[in-house]
Amino acid sequence: MNILHLSAVRNWGGGEKHIENLCLELAESNPEVNNFVLCKKGDLFEKSLQNNNLPYAAAPIITNFDFRYIIKLISLVKTKQINLIHIHDPTALAFAVFADKFTSLPPFIFSKKTSFPIRDRKRTLYKYNYPKIKKILCVSEKSKNIIGENINDSSKLVKIYHGFRLEREQFKSKREDLLAELNIPKEKTIIGNIANHIWPKDLETFLKVAHHLIYTENRTDLYFVQIGFYFRETPHLLKRLKELRLEDHVKCYGFKNNASRFFKIFDYFLLTSQVEGLPNVIYEAFYHKVPVIATNVGGIPEIVSHLENGFLADALDAEKLAEHILFLEKNRELIPRLTENAHRKLVENFTTKQMAKQTLQEYKNVLYGRS
């Protein structure tokens, strides 16, 4: 079975980690499945594929219809004798649909990794309902319900949660070394966030939580760490950080390799997204037994149960998120039970082994005529 994975994103995120985890897991559990990745040339994803020794090719992407990517896609299908194309983002889907007009490509599987609605536009609806798409793998029940509103054949929709690969989290960094790397005083209680600077992550609410705790609750012992790609929202975010007088209490560090290693220094993990699919970073918090305080959006409430393995608040509600942190600060004896529940739920339900097994079954359903 020869699978070609298509990625056309221009930054690194959970979606790219999902591709790597899937390919790594299938290589171990089902070596008869040959996975090959086509990605954007010259970006971090290409470097990560190299570091993980995963077979790949790269093509330049300057525009949403860069013919060099399309030509490379057609060439790989022929030379690698591809049986099925697994598409991982909307831009890659557009490339695949376009390429199929020049030559008959193998069947498609598309992974829907966000909970954004499909735009009600003729070209967009055509792309997502393209006949070559035999299955749409949705990252959460919420994502499945939302995309289902604009998919003509709902039988194509399958929910498969992304998985956590334990082998990727065996970091040897010591807490004191990580604190020194980020230049954080040892006596601080650290509230961490790992997210790229894009609007769905709503990092302004992260700043508002910090402002409320520091200036309203007078908790100057707290220190807020934000790690993630600088992107379109960065100028506004850094401006708001200064306006809220948070320079001494909040630090944005930009992209960091193996960012999940910093969970060793986080006392709490705060996720303030206003739109989500199902963020892998919550799995990482569960694994490292860091309490999760998150917004009740997308697929998050499907894995975070309020008061059982984390805390939830409505999107944009900075005061409620801050209240949850204060509650845990005053009731620290509850944290071991909370984090143990989270860790157990992760290893029992959300591993890459389970994800790969379910995904492989969908590959077989398509290739053996059961789609």
Q: What is the pLDDT of residue 257?
A: 85
Q: What is the pLDDT of residue 169?
A: 66
Are both 158 and 23 inside the same structural domain? yes
Helical H runs in 183-317? Answer: 203-211, 234-243, 280-287, 300-303
Q: Which of 327, 285, 331, 333 is nearest to 309 (CA)?
A: 285
Q: What is the CATH number of the domain that holds 130?
A: 3.40.50.2000
Q: What is the pLDDT of residue 168?
A: 67
Are both 14 and 61 inside the same structural domain? yes
The number of distinct structural domains making up the chain is: 2
* Tens-digit pLDDT profile for residues 226-274: 999 999 899 999 999 999 999 999 999 999 988 999 999 999 999 999 9
Check: CB of residue 339 under 8 Å from CB of residue 290. yes
CA dihedral for 358, 361, 367, 369, sign (positive or negative): negative
Q: What is the pLDDT of residue 370?
A: 61
Are both 263 and 174 inside the same structural domain? yes
Backbone phi, then psi, for 236, in 5-degree steps? Answer: -65, -40
For 333, counting Cβ atoms within 10 Å of its Cβ (0-12 exposed, 13-18 middle, 19+ buried), the class is exposed
pTM of the model: 0.92
Rounded Cα gap, residues 139 and 298, in angstroms: 10
Helix axis angle for 234-243 and 203-211, nearest 10°, is 10
Q: What letter does residue 254 receive in the DSSP assignment? A: -
Q: What is the pLDDT of residue 70?
A: 95
Are both 331 and 362 inside the same structural domain? no
Q: Which of 197, 205, 199 is nearest to 224 (CA)?
A: 205
The pair of structure tokens assigned to 303 is 């894995």
Are both 345 and 359 inside the same structural domain? no
Q: What is the pLDDT of residue 170?
A: 66
Rounded Cα gap, residues 229 and 285, in angstroms: 19
Q: What is the pLDDT of residue 134?
A: 97
Are both 244 and 128 inside the same structural domain? no
Are both 277 and 198 inside the same structural domain? yes
Q: What is the mean pLDDT of each run of 10 residues along the chain (371 residues)?
A: 94 86 94 96 91 94 88 97 97 96 95 89 93 96 94 95 80 86 92 96 98 97 96 95 97 92 96 94 95 97 97 98 98 97 95 95 90 49
Q: How many CA atoms lie within 13 A of 109 on its CB side?
A: 26
Are both 357 and 345 inside the same structural domain? no
Are both 218 and 277 inside the same structural domain? yes
Are both 234 and 205 inside the same structural domain? yes
Polymer length in residues for the chain: 371
Check: CB of residue 273 under 8 Å from CB of residue 297. yes
Residue range of the domain that includes 99: 2-163+351-367
Q: How many CB atoms lie within 10 A of CB 346?
A: 22
Are both 100 and 194 inside the same structural domain? no
Are both 327 and 196 inside the same structural domain? yes
Q: What is the pLDDT of residue 64?
A: 76
Rounded Cα gap, residues 240 and 228, in angstroms: 17
CA dihedral for 209, 212, 217, 220, sign (positive or negative): positive
